[in-house]
Amino acid sequence: MKIALAQQNYHIGNFEVNVGKIIAGIQQAKAEGADLVVFTELCICGYPPQDFLEFSDFINKCEAAIGEIRQHADGIGVLIGAPQRNEKPEGKPLHNAVFLLEDQSIKGVVHKTLLPNYDIFDEYRYFEPADSWKVLEFRGKKLAVTICEDIWNMGENPLYRITPMDELIRQQPDLMINLSASPYNYAQDVVRNSIVKAHTLKYGIPMIYCNTVGSQTEVVFDGGSLVYDQAGSKVKECAYFEEDFYCVAFDTLINHGGTKENKEEPVFFSAAEVGLGQNTLDYLSDEKNIAEIHQALLLGIKDYFTKMGFTKAILGASGGIDSALVQALAVEALGKENVWAILMPSQYSTGHSVADAEELSRNLGNPYNILPIKNIYDTFTNELAPLFKDLPFNVAEENIQSRSRGNLLMALSNKFGNILLNTSNKSELSTGYGTLYGDMAGGIGVLGDVYKTQVYALAKYINRNGEIIPGNILTKPPSAELRPGQKDSDSLPDYADLDTILVEYIEGRKSPAQIIALGYEEQLVTHILRMVNSNEYKRKQFCPIIRVSYKAFGIGRRMPIVGKYLS
């Protein structure tokens, strides 16, 4: 038996496109002589469909799509993922399901058992879990088919009480197949490989793991579909951050030596174990991680624009490292002609900031304009003078500058249809170092899940084959330039300390005492955590953020605004 994996990029709710991709995948599998082709979790509608699932019309369209696809399941078996109505009156109205299509009909259905309800996942909001488990019979083979989270109940502290494969293995399956929508973070490839390998070692049969690819607003899916033989050896790892297709013969996955008694013990790593088991700064700037984050951000930008029907971007180019990196990424993702940089110097901007920003645009070849904001700022302060009285210059005047820039960018966005790219990084968002409706404005946050340490590493990666981002941008002290001689270090701790403490708190969920025990001063830790927790109101008003870590701001991190903890 020959099995094909179709790793594809779907668009949530775009049934015409999704069905077209799936049918094309079936045709390719037929052309390569496959007996069975495997697609991914909820491929019919795209993942995650969220509250679209509450509309009967949406489910009707899913059912119609299955009906269209099964007409092409002639001479081949097809495994596709889609929501299915729950026939029982008890429980949630839907199941997260996999359909086995063959001979132009539905030959079997599998329901997802383990419904993740943490971080970005909210499946128990919509779906009823499976309460029975049965292998699918296909051409003389028994297929143990599971869906994404169903294989993740491993390790010393499993999250669920039931492990579907423990139930299915009693029926002596020949092959494990998992249809997945597993999002990217910069530990996920290690974790994913460990869990698939652990299954083959534990159950002694091969495994085929098909994962989706593509970005859905905040969430990036990286692909990396896997084939492991029964001895726990990796046979194939599909491409990352792009569509891929692979065929494998079942016979090549068995009889690779070893019995259950003499195999190595299964080992499963969690994202936290991969990430926080080493020096934090080394982990953040690890060359492999940076290369992956670069690809993830490009895919996040590209798919956000493509799937939303946008073509052109705009951003404020300050001559600083954050805007320079976003500009370089956007040019690479969208094309230089589609990225418009606006330089908006004030009386506090240094000459080199404008020069650096101009040099960057010349290097990239994208259009740019200069719009000084001094006159706009003066008009604001003159009109406000009677109310401001003789109070000293402070953050109010600083934020007028930032909001003036935001107004100019949004005016140009409205006039010409360019989507504003936000340039705030995770270190700034964590500490509230940004201006609401000013530099926090935007349609998509490109760097909102990227710490300042990683921003510098990514900029150096951009320059790996020659200077694109000017060297002065990489070496000068970062500054918002909203007052004379201002530097980030006036308001924020050293980024090496700040980012380490932020990672230990946000990703690692460590307490103040645990972070202090790492060697940091109590006053510094208390100050940083207070900044994080007291600025939740700003982050709640922020634009969607491209997620690259395993704990990003946005839908995966839910904190009360009025909470008192550590604030």
Respond yes or no: is residue 540 known to be catalytic: no
Residues 25 and 131 in one domain: yes
Which one-letter amino acid corresponds to residue 12? I
Report the C-alpha gap between 563 and 537 in whole angstroms. Answer: 11
Q: Which secondary-structure segment (H or E) carries 431?
A: helix 426-431
316 is in an annotated binding site: yes
User: pLDDT under 70 in the chain at which residues?
Assistant: 256-263, 268-278
Same domain for 312 and 252: no
Per-residue model confidence (pLDDT) at position 117: 95
Residue 257 labelled as part of a binding site = no
Q: What is the domain count for the chain? A: 2
> Is 368 contained in some domain?
yes
pLDDT tens, 76-101?
Answer: 999 999 999 999 999 999 999 999 99
Final residue of a structural domain among 225, 241, 271: 271
Rounded CA separation 59/51 (Å): 11
**Could you tell me the CA-to-CA distances from 101 to 82, 109, 227 in Å, in that order?**
12, 9, 22
Whether residue 318 is annotated as binding a ligand: the answer is yes
Max alpha carbon distance in the chain (Å)? 87
Using CA atoms, how far residue 324 sits from 29, 275, 357, in Å, is 43, 27, 7
My answer on whether 71 and 180 are in the same domain is: yes
Tokens representing 224?
A: 């990396």
Report whether 309 belongs to an annotated binding site.
Answer: no
Q: Are 258 and 322 part of one and the same domain?
A: no
Residues 145 and 95 grouped into a single domain: yes
* φ/ψ of residue 236, rounded to 5: -155, 140
Domain membership of residue 565 (yes or no) is: no
Long-range contacts of 392-400 (CB under 8 A, 24+ apart): 393/483, 397/482, 397/483, 398/435, 398/480, 398/482, 398/483, 399/435, 399/438, 399/482
* Tokens 């001895």, located at residue: 231
Both tokens assigned to 86: 């729950």
Instruction: Tell me if 172 is assigned to some domain.
Output: yes
Partners of 207 in the β-ladder = 176, 228
Q: Give the residue from 237, 271, 305 where a domain finishes.
A: 271
Q: Which of 207, 238, 271 is the last residue of a domain?
A: 271
> Do 290 and 229 belong together in one domain?
no
Give the pLDDT score at 277.
Answer: 53
320 labelled as ligand-binding? yes
Asked whether residue 235 falls in the same domain as residue 306, the answer is no
Q: How far apart are alpha carbons 256 and 475 in whole angstroms? A: 54
344 falls within a domain: yes
Of 5, 8, 67, 68, which Cα lies nearest the Cα of 34?
A: 5
Q: Are residues 247 and 341 in the same domain?
A: no
Q: Is 112 a catalytic residue?
A: yes
Cβ-proximal residues to 521 (8 Å cutoff; 6+ apart), any chain: none
Amino acid occupying residue 386: P
Is 516 inside any structural domain? no
Catalytic residue among 21, 45, 102, 112: 112
What would the 3-class secondary structure string for 93-143 be? Answer: CEEEEEEEEECCEEEEEEECCCCCCCCCCCHHHCECCCCCCCCEEECCEEE
pLDDT of residue 274: 62
Distance of CA 36 to the CA centre of its chain: 30
pLDDT of residue 349: 80
CB 215 within 8 A of CB 240: no
* Structure-block tokens of residue 480: 């918002």
Residue 160 lies in a domain: yes
Alpha carbon 6 to chain centroid distance?
A: 21
Known catalytic residue: 41? yes
563 assigned to some structural domain: no
Contact between 159 and 121 (Cβ < 8 Å): no
Q: The domain spanning residue 191 has which CATH number?
A: 3.60.110.10
Domain shared by 317 and 432, yes or no = yes
Domain that holds residue 138: 2-271
- CA–CA distances in Å: residue 21 to residues 98, 243, 299, 308: 17, 11, 18, 18
Query: Do 292 and 261 sit in the same domain of this protein?
Result: no
How much is the pLDDT for 258?
Answer: 47
Residue 502 domain flag: no
User: Taking the CA of residue 444 as centre, how many other CA atoms within 13 Å lie in the half-sphere pointing to its CB?
Assistant: 26
Helical spans, DSSP H, in 317-425? 321-334, 351-364, 374-388, 395-416
Q: Are 319 and 473 in contact (CB under 8 A)?
A: yes
Handedness of CA 508, 511, 512, 517 (dihedral sign): negative
Indicate which CATH number applies to the domain containing 315.
3.40.50.620
This prediction's pTM? 0.95
Nearest to 36 by CA among 72, 79, 83: 79
Q: Is 224 assigned a ligand-binding role in the annotation?
A: no
The pLDDT of residue 276 is 55
Tell whether 209 is in a known binding site: no
Residues 192 and 133 in one domain: yes
Q: Which of 148, 210, 238, 543 is an active site residue?
A: 148
Amino acid at 136: L
Asked if residue 345 has a cis previous peptide bond (ω within 30° of 0), the answer is no
Q: Tell me, what's the pLDDT at 240? A: 98
Does 317 belong to an annotated binding site? yes
* Same domain assignment for residues 81 and 189: yes
